[in-house]
Structure formats: structure tokens, C-alpha cells
Amino acid sequence: MTIRLLLVDDHAVVRSGLKMLLSGQKEMEIVGEAASAHEALTETERLRPNVILMDIGLPDKTGIEATREIKAKFPDVKIVALTIHEDEEYFFQMLAAGASGYVPKRAAPDELITAINAAADGEVYLYPSLAKLLVRDYLSAERPAEEKANLDGLTDREHEVLIHLAEGASNDEIAAALVISPKTVERHRENIMRKLNLHSRSELVRYAIRKGIIKA
């Protein structure tokens, strides 16, 4: 299936260059162009592209806002940011707006093509300098998860039971999952609660989420 592309950039020269570059791709067809956020929205409505290449610096609004508006109306359209900006702020905002890729204009042509294909497949291409930022963010957010090591002296089995408890399972459900008696589950639960000084399942859930043992 060929990919229907819409180019959004306020510089005609850039659009021409992209057309040159992408016209060689068999699987891609450039169905339209837009020079502003407003045009991008109307052209998306009219042409229904699969993938939009979106500049960030546009005359009327930012490409970030344009992305947000287009994704709100046409959630299936994949949008790849193509911009000179490698700022952390723009990048994260673009992700939050629903972008399926982020490629700086300095990237190699092959990388843009990879990004477009990935977006069309419902995946995400991130240029390495930006991917680094996202990974850094992930690691800072997940740092609590590293505390899996110090679990206040819980044994392996207790830790396993704790995961199920935190996910809201009943004793019987846990027993079935671990193929042990409900009584043993209860035994483990008691030990866990005593070691962690907790006294209800609700407290266990909060503890587990705080420690990164499970996600909320």
C-alpha cells in the first residue's frame, strides 16, 4: 500500500527538496502541501493523507499545535516532525501532541524515509540525539524501579506474592497463579506486611507503586 504524504513547511524550497527526495520512493506519493498550520488542517481534511511531515516553525501557529489539532480530528493520521529544532522542549511537546516520529533536518535522507515508513506502520522513529533525551527521561522516572534490589528484606517468593497483591489479586487468585495453597499465600502476605510495617492491601498497593514494583 502506498503511503499518502502531506508536506507541511512554510518554505517552498524545503517542500521542493522533499518532493525531489521522496519522489524516488515507490511506496510514497506526495498528495499535497501546506505552508501554514491552518492550511495543514484543511488539506488534511480534504486529502486524507496517511502521514504528514510537519515543520515546527510555521507562520500562524507552531507545528506542535497543528499536530495536536490534527490528531484530535484525525487520530489515524501519523505525523512526523521534521524540523531544525533539536530542543528538548519542542521534542517532548511534539510527543505529547501525538507525533509518530521526530527527525531533525540535518538527518540523512535515508533516516527520513525510515521515519516515514515506521510512522505509516504505526511505529515511531526517533533520531538518536532525541532518543537519548527520552531514554534519560525514562531512566530518571524509573529510578525507583531500581530499588528492586533493596526490598526491605523480602524473599524472592514474597516479592512474587507482593506483585500479585499489589495488582489487586485476592488470596485465592494468587494461590491459583502460583499453584500453592491460599493458606500459604496468606502466610506470605502476613510476612510481607510485618516486614514492611503495612496493615492493609491498600497500603501494599501504594507501597508497590512507590517502589516501582508495579505501575499504577
Query: Which of the listed partners (DNA, its own copies, none) does 171 bind, with a CB threshold of 5 to 8 Å by partner kind?
Result: DNA
Query: Binding its own copies by CB under 8 A: which of 142, 147, 152, 172?
Result: 142
Binding mask 69-108 for its own copies (x = CB under 8 A): -----------------------x--xx----x-------
The CA distance from 137 to 26, in Å, is 37
107 or 151: CB nearest DNA? 151
Beta partners for 82?
103
Query: Binding DNA by CB under 7 A: which of 38, 48, 61, 201?
Result: 201
Cβ atoms of 56 and 74 within 8 Å: the answer is no
* Residue type (1 letter), 181: S
Find the shortest distance in angstroms from Cβ 23 to its own copies.
21
Find the shortest distance in angstroms from Cβ 150 to DNA.
14
List of residues contacting its own copies (CB under 8 A):
92, 95-96, 101, 110-111, 114-115, 118, 121-126, 128-129, 131-132, 134-135, 137-142, 145-146, 165-168, 170, 200-206, 209-210, 215-216
